Amino acid sequence: MSVTIVWFWNDLRVSDNPALYHAAKRGRVLPVFIYAEDIGVRKLGSVKKWWLYKSLVSLNETLKKYGVGLVIRTGFDTVSVLKELVREVKADAVYWNRRFDPTMVARDERVKKELISLGVKVECFDSFLLHDPNEILTSTGKPYAVFTPFWKRLRKDVNVPRPLPSPERIQGVGVRVRSEKLEDLGFLPEFKRCESLEEFWKVSEDAARERLRRFVTSSLEGYERDRDFPYLDGTSLISPYLASGLISPRQVWYEVIGASEGKSSKGVEAFLRSLAWREFSYHLLYHNPSMLEKSVKSIFERFPWRLEKSEFYERWTAGLTGIPIIDAGMRQLRKVGWMHNRVRMIVASWFTKNLLFHWKLGEEWFWDTLVDADIANNVQNWQWVAGCGIDPVPFFRVFNPILQSRKFDPKGVYIKKWLPELEKFPSEYVHEPWKAPLPVLKRAGVELGKDYPLPMIPVEESGRTALELYKRLRKD
Ligand SMILES: Cc1cc2nc3c(=O)[nH]c(=O)nc-3n(C[C@H](O)[C@H](O)[C@H](O)COP(=O)(O)OP(=O)(O)OC[C@H]3O[C@@H](n4cnc5c(N)ncnc54)[C@H](O)[C@@H]3O)c2cc1C
């Protein structure tokens, strides 16, 4: 009987998992997770490790219901581990779902070649994206570089396949296969913030479906209106599940489209458009792998970014900048490993255009602290906000965090949730506590500089400095 190894990575689910589904139809199956040195572009962030640990526990439990367990292996390079497993279980095929991180693409190609040269059948399936970056190209055969035409094309021409069901049964390989202990991978001990993450997130395939359903029933209709307001429960929070593949984008796509019958479809279209940003990020990264390291607009390679992790950097990461909307975002990130998209834009703009830090330093901090850390989305968005990416916010558009705060959190509900020290502030002053008269500060029980910091740098002036530097750069 045929034996297929199913190599899991960012597809940690049983439903709509084409590699697993087709392997189960073919014969015996060995599900494997490999944590090797060559995992890709960079090491996993510490919060992502926590998420991965939980996801793997859950996947293992689900697989056990089928009577098979997840085999965990570590090693120096993935192909050696796979070759060893092929020998051990006499596998004649290895299946996986395609990955689109450029360093993984290169690694996976090497793995494929080596396995094929040993006479092992290799099949790779699509489920991580809705589109194939090689196939969706402009009329001149080039990759897209602007979001709106990309989105129009995706919406019109891409026939998103229906999600596959979970396999009816999975037959194990019938021999005992050594598995390393998940606890030994070192995913948990490095991390001290588990408690607040545990409180906030349920990590499993079922939890992903449940969260999506809840969003579809309660918030989808108002998504277009509410998604920019961080104090509302207006977005899906599905990003970490998508990033680790506890849910597939096509499952999300069809659940959302299915909900539009009889309802206003504005929310649906706005949501699908958001989901298409994930596609666009991968499209861009796939065709421009150097954007992982370099600003796409090469002029920014000469910009005098700050590269030192100075005290300003530390205060930004700690949520102690003295600008409440920024501090609220950074504390939300610290506590639950997630931040609202609008606030991500505000904190990233402040970091790059007011503090003038290189976008890569911010990107790396997000990478280490987000549960939804995703290489394409993170790099693309950081470059977009910093003004140096493809189709970005122009550099001269410097967000004013105070105006953003007044507009998107007018009563300071979001700010007060994450900055309890400002709880008693009247909404008039909560966006700029340093402008509050002494009696207001007294009533709020806040001594600036002691209970809450003064702004680290002047808001408007620092924005102007960035513009001056940019103008000078263009003249050179
Ligand atoms: C500086 C910065 C860094 C970011 N880093 C990441 C990251 O590492 N991982 C990540 O998944 N997202 C990242 N984003 C994009 C976005 O903030 C999150 O995807 C979104 O906040 C997730 O919340 P949600 O699932 O409730 O989103 P919803 O609004 O419910 O959107 C649904 C899905 O659409 C996709 N999506 C929405 N907005 C974007 C966007 N701007 N770019 C790409 N995809 C999008 C996500 O997959 C999201 O889960 C970043 C944004 C910024 C500004």
Given this model, what pLDDT does residue 322 score? 98
> Domain for residue 189, yes or no?
no
Q: Are the C-beta atoms of residues 283 and 136 closer than 8 Å to each other?
A: yes
In whole angstroms, give the CA distance from residue 302 to residue 446: 42
For 262-277, how does the pLDDT look when each residue is reduced to its tens digit (9 = 90+)?
Answer: 565 899 999 999 999 9
Query: Looking at the predicted structure, is the pLDDT value of residue 316 above 90?
Result: yes
Query: Looking at the predicted structure, is the pLDDT value of residue 261 above 80?
Result: no
Q: Which DSSP category does 271 fall into?
A: H
> Domain for residue 182, yes or no?
no
For 165-183, how does the pLDDT look when each residue is reduced to its tens digit (9 = 90+)?
Answer: 999 999 999 999 999 999 9
DSSP codes, 355-374: S-B-HHHHHHHHHHH-TT--
The position carrying tokens 């002047």 is: 458
| Cα–Cα distances in angstroms (integers) from residue 76 to residues 108, 149, 188, in the given order | 15, 42, 21
Query: Looking at the predicted structure, is the pLDDT value of residue 42 above 90?
Result: no
Domain boundary among 107, 127, 147: 127
Given this model, what pLDDT does residue 456 score? 94
Joined together, the tokens standing for residue 162 give 């229906």
For 374-411, how does the pLDDT look when each residue is reduced to its tens digit (9 = 90+)?
Answer: 999 999 999 999 999 887 777 778 899 999 999 999 99
Residues 123 and 139 in one domain: no
> Domain for residue 351, yes or no?
yes
- Nearest to 280, CA basis, from 379, 172, 156, 420: 379
Q: How many domains does the chain have?
A: 3
> Domain for residue 174, yes or no?
no
Query: Looking at the predicted structure, is the pLDDT value of residue 189 above 70?
Result: no
The position carrying tokens 């037959």 is: 171
Q: What is the mean pLDDT of residues 74-78?
A: 93
Domain boundary among 78, 108, 127: 127
Residues 263 and 327 in one domain: no
For 418-435, how does the pLDDT look when each residue is reduced to its tens digit (9 = 90+)?
Answer: 999 999 999 999 999 999
Q: Which DSSP category does 354 fall into?
A: I
Select from 200, 244, 257, 274 the residue to mutate for testing ligand 1; criterion: most ligand atoms less than 8 Å from CB.
274
Residues 146 and 251 in one domain: yes
pLDDT mean across residues, the chain: 94
Residues 452 and 426 in one domain: yes
Residues 378 and 317 in one domain: yes
Q: Are the C-beta atoms of residues 432 and 418 closer than 8 Å to each other?
A: no
pLDDT band for position 192 (cuts 50, 70, 90):
low
Given this model, what pLDDT does residue 190 score? 60
* H or E element, residue 385: helix 375-386
Residues 453 and 332 in one domain: yes
SS3 of the chain: helix, strand, coil, percent, to 5: 55, 5, 40
| Cα–Cα distances in angstroms (integers) from residue 273 to residues 279, 306, 344, in the given order | 10, 34, 18
What is the percent of the chain with per-residue pLDDT over 90, rounded to a whole number? Answer: 85
> Domain for residue 390, yes or no?
yes
Query: Looking at the predicted structure, is the pLDDT value of residue 38 above 90?
Result: no
The position carrying tokens 């598995």 is: 179
In whole angstroms, give the CA distance from residue 114 to residue 213: 42
For 199-232, how does the pLDDT look when each residue is reduced to its tens digit (9 = 90+)?
Answer: 999 999 999 999 999 999 999 999 999 999 999 9
Q: Are the C-beta atoms of residues 186 and 85 closer than 8 Å to each other?
A: no
- Buried b / exposed e over 56-92, threshold 16 CB at 10 Å, is bebbbebbeebebbbbbbebebbbbbbbebbeebebb
Residue type, 265: S
Taking CB atoms within 8 Å and a gap of at least 24, the contacts of 410-415 are: 411/231, 412/324, 413/231, 414/230, 414/231, 414/325, 414/328, 414/340, 414/343, 415/324, 415/325, 415/328
Residues 154 and 106 in one domain: no
363: domain CATH number is 1.10.579.10
Query: Looking at the predicted structure, is the pLDDT value of residue 33 above 70?
Result: yes
Size of the chain, expressed as the number of residues it contains: 476
221: domain CATH number is 1.25.40.80
> Domain for residue 184, yes or no?
no
> Domain for residue 167, yes or no?
no
Residues 312 and 256 in one domain: no
Select from 10, 341, 357, 383 the residue to mutate for testing ligand 1; criterion: most ligand atoms less than 8 Å from CB.
341
Q: Are the C-beta atoms of residues 374 and 243 closer than 8 Å to each other?
A: yes
| Other CB atoms within 10 Å distance of the CB of residue 449 | 10
Residues 209 and 240 in one domain: yes
Q: How far is Cα of residue 446 from the mean position of the Cα atoms in its chain? A: 36
Compute the C-alpha angle 113/114/117, nearest 5°. Answer: 85
Instruction: Enumerate residues lining ligand 1, CB below 6 A.
Output: 227, 235-239, 242-243, 274-275, 277-278, 281, 341, 344-345, 348, 366, 370, 372-374, 377-378, 381-382, 385
Residues 317 and 395 in one domain: yes
The position carrying tokens 């505000």 is: 346
Residues 152 and 97 in one domain: no
pLDDT band for position 27 (cuts 50, 70, 90):
very high
Using DSSP's 3-state secondary structure scheme, residue 285 falls into helix
Given this model, what pLDDT does residue 145 score? 94
52: domain CATH number is 3.40.50.620
Domain boundary among 256, 287, 318: 287
Q: Report the separation in Å between the CA atom of 297 and the middle of ligand 1, taken as the mean of its atom positions.
A: 22
Range of the domain at 328: 298-475
| Cα–Cα distances in angstroms (integers) from residue 8 to residues 34, 235, 367, in the given order | 8, 28, 21
Q: Edge-to-edge, what's the strand order for the sheet holding 93-97? A: 71-75, 28-36, 3-8, 93-97, 121-125
Residues 79 and 146 in one domain: no
Using DSSP's 3-state secondary structure scheme, residue 97 falls into strand
pLDDT band for position 331 (cuts 50, 70, 90):
very high
> Domain for residue 188, yes or no?
no
Q: Report the separation in Å between the CA atom of 377 and the middle of ligand 1, taken as the mean of its atom positions.
A: 7
For 106-160, how does the pLDDT look when each residue is reduced to its tens digit (9 = 90+)?
Answer: 899 999 999 999 999 999 999 999 999 999 999 999 999 999 999 999 999 999 9
Q: Report the separation in Å between the CA atom of 341 and the middle of ligand 1, taken as the mean of its atom positions.
A: 6
Query: Looking at the predicted structure, is the pLDDT value of residue 475 above 80?
Result: no
